[in-house]
């Protein structure tokens, strides 16, 4: 694997790069990879590289105005104990954008970053 395909990269447009980087590293287990705040930072978790692009970044400037809204997509983070993760994040003062929803594949809840981008916290259903 070359360094270019070491990660799966997703770009989120944010209005405050430092606030977004702090959110992901403080609350969701990401590591800061690089920072050119206030324009750009990238954080990693496993093979996910999350590109946090502020208004001055080339990624944000290249985005058509009608598409530059948060919440249209979401990253999906998996946890073994969703309830414990919810309690930990609520204890840190975070609020959720939904209630826990259960289905045949598992349980999920949505959290928004400081710019309004959604993060799905997910616990797979236990299989016999």
pLDDT value for 58: 76
Per-residue confidence at 2, pLDDT binned at 50, 70, 90? very low
∠ CA 94-84-112, nearest 5°, is 30
Q: What is the mean pLDDT of the chain?
A: 89
């Amino acid at each position: 694997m070359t360094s270019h395909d070491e990660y799966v990269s997703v770009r989120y447009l944010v209005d405050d790069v430092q606030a977004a980087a702090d959110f992901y590293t403080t609350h969701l287990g990401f590591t800061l990879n690089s920072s050119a705040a206030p324009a750009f930072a990238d954080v990693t978790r496993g093979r996910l590289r999350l590109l946090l692009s502020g208004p001055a970044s080339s990624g944000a400037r290249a985005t058509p105005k009608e598409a530059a809204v948060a919440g249209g997509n979401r990253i999906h983070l998996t946890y073994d104990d969703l309830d414990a993760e919810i309690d930990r994040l609520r204890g840190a003062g975070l609020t959720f954008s939904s209630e826990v929803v259960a289905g045949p594949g598992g349980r999920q809840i949505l959290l928004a970053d400081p710019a309004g981008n959604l993060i799905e916290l997910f616990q797979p259903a236990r299989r016999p």
